[in-house]
A and B are shown apart, each in its own frame.
Chain A
Amino acid sequence: MSLAAVMPPEVAAPPEVGLRPVISFHGVSKIYPNGCEAVRDVDLAIHQGDFCFVVGASGSGKTTLVRLLIREEVATTGRIFVDGQETTRMLRRRLPKLRRKFGIVFQDYKLLPKLTVAQNVAFALQVTRPGQRHLKEKVEETLWIVGLEDKLNTFPDQLSGGEQQRVAIARALVHRPRIFLADEPTGNLDPDTSWGIVQLLLQINHRGTTVVMATHNREIVDLCRRRVIAIDSGRVVRDEEEGGYLREGEATI
């Protein structure tokens, strides 16, 4: 007698929503029109609440992976699911809704120089949810999370690099995204400041947000001992829990 026959149906097919990945790639490849194969046959699953590093040398395909995720790029083959929705065949007009599930920061902070810190953060809500109530409170609360509650009326060029990245993080966080993407967020920062930024991302993860961070900062990855997805020439060459920047005994990747 099979197992399914003796178990009640709801147990045989458990509705384990928490186990469904929030991001999944199924055989995804991206070939640019010039023939460059940036991502090759990638299979991935990232669950709600995960914190993972995507590591690899410059040009290995990290950024393309991030761009595929937010559908800045369209996969040549394969399927990508975000929050249960397939994004590879998504209509253009549905993209804004997809993007709102993400909070994204980059190596260059992409702040608007003519707006103050608070205005930069508020901008994200003004353009996605015009007329949002309690805008000021939400902005101040988010700036408090990133530790810039005393810099509300400062302009970006009066801030240090680390502080500017914190503003960018606050802007990415203010609409409470499900997934936080950071593409080389510490690329322009010194080691101490970088560590501060990573701790902030860990804190955000601790509140339940999934965090994906593409980086080639070896110290940080080795210190955190979190999930590491290593990419080389567009392929996932390693995917381990509590991994380091390099495989045991490996000199370079």
Chain B
Amino acid sequence: MTYLRGLLASVRFAMVAAGQNFTRNLAVSLAGVFTMGLIMLLVGGTLLLTHTVDAILNQQEVQADEIHIYLQDSLSMRTIADYEMRFAQDPRVNGVSFTSKDQAVIAGQQRGLSLAPAIAILGSNPLPASIDLHVRDLTDLTQLNNVAKSLPVVDISSGSATDYNPDVIPRLQTVITWTVWIGAVLSIVLAVISLVIIMNTIRTAVYIRRTEIEIMKLVGASDWFVRWPFILEGVFAGVLAAALGATVVALAYRFVLVQANARVYLGISFDGAFLTAMVGLLIVFGAVLGGFGSFLGVRRFLHA
């Protein structure tokens, strides 16, 4: 009971002192919070960007096992069915489907392409019908592409008989690796900068309270008793900065995504789960950085 009473009194003392630290030193505290908030914004932005690029690229990879073989307009349904059958029997092929000219228009519209003006001007639908193959193994794509190109029924009016692009996969993988690395390095550098900012904010708070600390040490307060108010202040500042940064990132993410999707088809939607996880992570990150920065900031003074 006595222990609990003492503990509660200590917690109360630390919280009151932390609040006083923050407000007595308001200009420096706020400057620290805003600078760190900006850094949290960058860290959060980097995380989201990496995640979004990753999502786009993953989707491209999913689509990459598909090859569309464009067909001439004059073919009969029977000829098409014949070719479909031949591909379906190929062991390298996982699935075959047919997209008619009208279905190609609908699929284009789903991807955000507005084809109505083109159809109105041309007087007919310019998109070719296609046989769509899903391959078992991405490495077979080149061979299948060669087979497709040599068929007499393909339409080469778009410049190519298929939509196969041999460079896309390794390129995508390079982009993914680079975005992850740049994001990680940038986040670490920014975290170190945050730590230094917190340390300096706390040093100022320590300087303001130096007489109080001197008296506390003199009358026999424990090191932790002296430390806690500053650690709490650091945690508070860190969480505040993270919340600030996270709010801006979340709003910006939503805005950019809505704007981008209205213009081009990216194939990604608002990822609420990732955003929630990221905000949580940022806040924990801010708290840990703030607490650790304070610990380092007070340490030198306590041991002096």
Are A104 and B218 closer than 8 Å at their CB atoms?
yes
Partner of B6, one of A93, A96, A98, A130: A130
Q: Tell me the B6-20 residues at the A interface (CB within 8 Å).
A: 6-10, 13
Please tell me if the beta carbons of B8 and A131 are within 8 angstroms of each other in the complex. yes
Q: What distance in Å separates the Cβ of A246 from its nearest Cβ neighbour in chain B?
A: 32
Q: How far is the CB of A115 from chain B (nearest CB, A)?
A: 9
Min CB gap A83→B, angstroms: 13
Bound: A18/B30 CA distance, A: 58
Write the chain A residue with the least CB distance to B219: A124
Asked if A97 and B215 make an inter-chain contact with CB atoms under 8 angstroms apart, the answer reads no
Q: Is A128 an interface residue (CB 8 A)?
A: yes
Determine the distance from Cα of A74 to Cα of B215 in the docked complex, in whole angstroms. 19
Which A94-143 residues have C-beta < 8 A from chain B?
Answer: 95-100, 102, 104, 110, 112, 123-124, 126-133
Q: Is A96's CB under 8 angstroms from B214's CB? A: no
Asked if B174 is at the interface of the complex by the 8 Å CB criterion, the answer is no
Contact B218 A99 (CB under 8 A): yes
Residues of A within 8 A of B5 (CB): 131, 133
A95 surroundings in chain B (CB, below 8 A): 220
For residue B259, CB closer than 8 A to chain A, the reply is no
Chain A 55-96, CB within 8 Å of chain B: the 1/0 string?
000000000000000100000000000000000000011011
In the complex, how many angstroms separate the beta carbon of B147 from the nearest chain A beta carbon?
79
Task: Report which residue of A93, A99, A102, A131 has the largest number of chain B beta carbons within 10 angstroms of its beta carbon.
Answer: A131
Give which listed residue, A96, A98, A130, A172, contacts B13 with CB less than 8 A.
Answer: A130
Assess whether B222 is interfacial by the CB under 8 Å rule: yes
With A93-B223, A110-B211, A126-B13 known as contacts, the answer to whether A131 contacts B7 (CB < 8 A) is: yes
B85, chain A: closest CB distance, angstroms: 84
Residues of A within 8 A of B7 (CB): 130-131
A235 CB-CB contact with B under 8 Å: no
Closest B residue to A103 using CB positions? B219
Check A96–B222 contact: CB distance below 8 A.
Answer: yes
Chain A residue nearest to B20 (CB atoms) is A114
Q: Given A126-B9, A131-B2, A131-B7, verify A99-B223 contact (CB < 8 Å).
A: no
Q: Enumerate chain A residues within 8 angstroms of B271, measured Cβ to Cβ.
A: none
- Residues in B neighbouring A130, C-beta threshold 8 A: 6-7, 9-10, 13, 225
Cβ proximity bits B2-43 to A, threshold 8 Å, 1 near / 0 not: 100111111001000000000000000000000000000000
In the complex, the chain B residue whose C-beta lies closest to that of A115 is B212
The interface bits of chain A over 207-235 (1 if a CB of B lies within 8 angstroms of the residue's CB, else 0) are 00000000000000000000000000000
Count of CB-CB pairs between chains A and B under 8 Å:
60
Q: Is the interface of B mostly helix, strand, loop or mixed?
A: helix
Residues in B whose Cβ lies below 8 Å from that of A40: none
Complex contacts, A131 vs chain B, CB 8 Å: 2, 5-10
Chain A nearest CB: distance from B163 CB in Å?
A: 71
Contact, CB under 8 Å: B219 / A110? no
Interface string of A145-179 (1 = CB under 8 A from B): 00000000000000000000000000110010000
Contact with B215, one of A92, A110, A133 (Cβ below 8 angstroms)? A110
A112 touches B212 (CB 8 A): yes
Enumerate chain B residues within 8 angstroms of A92, measured Cβ to Cβ. 223
Residues of B within 8 A of A97 (CB): 220
Q: Of residues B5, B216, B220, B222, which shows the largest number of chain A Cβ atoms within 10 Å of its Cβ? A: B220
Q: How large is the interface on A (under 10, 10 to 19, 20 to 34, 35 or more residues)?
A: 20 to 34
Indicate whether B217 reaches chain A with its CB closer than 8 angstroms.
yes
Query: Which residues of chain B have C-beta atoms less than 8 A from A70's C-beta?
Result: 218
Q: How far is the CB of A80 from chain B (nearest CB, A)?
A: 17
Which one of B212, B219, B225 has the greatest number of beta carbons of chain A within 10 Å? B219
**When the two chains form their complex, are residues B211 and A128 in contact, meaning their CB atoms are under 8 A apart?**
no
- Counting CB contacts under 8 A, is B138 at the interface? no
Quick check: B221 and A128 within 8 Å, CB to CB? yes
Q: Which of B2, B8, B219 contacts A127 (CB 8 A)?
A: B219
**A98 to B221 CA separation, bound complex (whole angstroms):** 11
- A93 to B220: give the CA distance in the assembly, Å: 10
> Does B221 lie within 8 Å of A127, measured CB to CB?
yes
Q: Which of B13, B212, B221 has most chain A Cβ within 10 Å?
A: B221
Contacts of B13 in A (CB 8 A): 126-127, 130
Q: Which residues of B contact A124 (CB under 8 A)?
A: 215, 219
The complex places the Cα of A132 from the Cα of B211 at a distance, in Å, of 23
User: What chain B residues lie within 8 Å of A110 (beta carbons)?
Assistant: 211, 214-215, 218
* Complex Cα spacing A95 to B217, Å: 9
* Chain A residues within 8 Å of B, Cβ to Cβ: 70, 92-93, 95-100, 102, 104, 110, 112, 123-124, 126-133, 171-172, 175
Q: What are some 14 contacts across the A-B interface (CB < 8 A)?
A: A96-B223, A99-B219, A102-B220, A104-B219, A110-B211, A112-B211, A126-B9, A127-B219, A128-B220, A130-B13, A131-B2, A131-B7, A132-B9, A172-B219
Q: Which 10 A-B pairs have the closest CB atoms?
A: A99-B220, A131-B9, A130-B9, A100-B220, A131-B5, A131-B6, A127-B221, A96-B220, A130-B10, A124-B219
